Homo-oligomer: A and B are copies of this chain.
Amino acid sequence: MEKKLEELKTRLAEIADLNATSALLGWDQQTYMPPGGAEGRGDQLATISSLSHTKFTSPEIGQLLEDLQPFAEGLDPDSNDARLIKVTKRDFAKLTKVPTSYVAELAKLTTAAHPAWEAAREENDYGKFQPYLEQIIVMRQRYAEFFAPYDHIYDPLLDDFEPGMKTTDVKEIFDTLRPQQVALVQGIAESEQVDDSFLHLHYDEDKQWAFGEEVITKYGFDWKRGRQDKSVHPFTTSFGIDDVRITTRIDPNFYNTALFGTLHEAGHGLYELGCDHALARSPLAGGSSLAVHESQSRMWENMVGRSLPFWEHFYPRLQGYFPRQLQDIDVMTFYKGINKVEPSLIRVEADEATYNLHIMLRLELEIGMMEGSLQAKDMPDAWNSLFQEYLGITPPNDKEGVLQDIHWSFGGIGYFSTYALGNLVSAQLWDVINQDIPNLDDQIRNGEFADLLAWLVDKIHRHGSKYEPQELVQRVTGSKIDPAPYVRYLTDKFSAIYDL
């Protein structure tokens, strides 16, 4: 049996190498690749991902999993080997339900849909994207049918991003959350607005870059095992536990963009870097789910990076970088400025208090698409009317409305809710962390993050994807994903800032 386990591991390691290679092809595409490389890169990505898919869904892997089942049942269920077999079995069962012809058809469709979406967004012309979205909806409905019977047609899609999570769970969580977030945002709207004009000045790009790297060095980001580059859309990727790449973008006329991009991606990066090396080159390396990943990025970006203790430590240093812009701004004014709440059009630029509302409207629209109650042609109107309902404003055009996100163009229906769930998880963890490290605020005020990172590595990072998200959250916090701590966190924070 040990020999079969070794054979399984060898096959999975080869697949992990192919996936790491795909990740490098993607990283280069978004950082350094000259435009002429696009067509060839498409071929290379298609070749590598199809090889990876074929190898993972091979009858040999199926046979090994079947043969290893009795052996797995005799193992400690939390051991790496038991979890490896369990997670591989789960992924194998999912992937083998989807015919290769479907995968190729979807790849072909989304490869055409992506530039159509880019053009539609560029030219503010939804009609250019609509026929593709129409087909993508049909394709995703067909995808769900491979997993029938299901409780809800949206479940199989959600499960790809949040293993084990159900649509009714997410709906229930969001239904509890929404009225409370809406009430908070309304309360803020009726208060005096904070000033953030000093953030909208010219900030030298090299200095922005240097300060961001200074902060994440203190966070514990290991430059021997990672690096930061520039890209149009910030992202994190890894080619193994010891080679983790983050990116950011710099706006020379708005300070928040680069720094909080860097802190956010560093949170993802620290998660990847903290994985136990025993899980390397296996399906267990990398995070538990997108929501758990997002809990890490949002924690380092917001709970830490937009907190008062953080800026009590770093603000004099930042003023040293930018004396002209900041010498007359005291730390409290700065802190309030970077936390300004204001309903706005673009999700990725939204503040903490309104962010989840952007997600909730997307979830409703996606469920409508999948249930068949919303057609591609209805989307702009549906988007705008929900936007008005949730955020109190109506997008002036589709470019800043329904066309703003890349996700649907690559077929990623089911992805969005992970962002909001990540926020909730970050607050649940934050409560437990502050019980376990009672002087955490003081540590942050001294620029010390070692205890916090060690806690996260121990409770979350080192486990890779051994545990499904709900199981992991339960193990660490004692309850499943729960909106209450996040609402409490937001209310406390913004009551102080806006004197509610």
Which A residues lie at the B interface, using CB under 8 A? 13-14, 17-18, 20-21, 24-25, 28, 32-37, 39-41, 43-44, 46-48, 51, 222-227, 229, 239-243, 280-281
Contact = CB atoms under 8 A, between A and B. Distances in A.
B36 A225 contact: yes
B227 A34 contact: yes
A243 B40 contact: yes
A233 B41 CA distance: 25
A34 B239 contact: no
A85 to B, nearest CB: 22
Nearest to A37: B243
How many chain copies does the complex carry?
Answer: 2
Contacts of A24: 24-25, 28, 44
For the residues of A in contact with B, the DSSP-based class is: helix
A472 B280 CA distance: 48
- Among A17, A41, A48, A224, the one with the most B-chain Cβ atoms within 10 Å of its Cβ is A17
Pairs A-B, 9 closest by C-beta atoms: A37-B243, A40-B240, A36-B225, A36-B242, A17-B47, A17-B44, A36-B224, A14-B47, A34-B227
A225 to B, nearest CB: 3
Contacts of A46: 17
A278 to B, nearest CB: 14
B239 A40 contact: yes
Given A17-B48, A21-B21, A24-B28, A225 B43 contact: no
A111 to B, nearest CB: 12
A43 B243 contact: no
Given A24-B25, A28-B24, A281-B43, A243 B17 contact: no
A272 to B, nearest CB: 12
Nearest to A229: B32
A21 B25 contact: yes
A284 to B, nearest CB: 15
Given A32-B227, A34-B223, 5 more contacts: A20-B40, A21-B44, A36-B225, A36-B243, A40-B239
B34 A225 contact: yes
A46 B18 CA distance: 11
B39 A242 contact: yes
Contact of A13 (B14, B37, B43, B229): B43
Contacts of A281: 40, 43
A44 to B, nearest CB: 5
Most buried by B among A20, A33, A241: A20
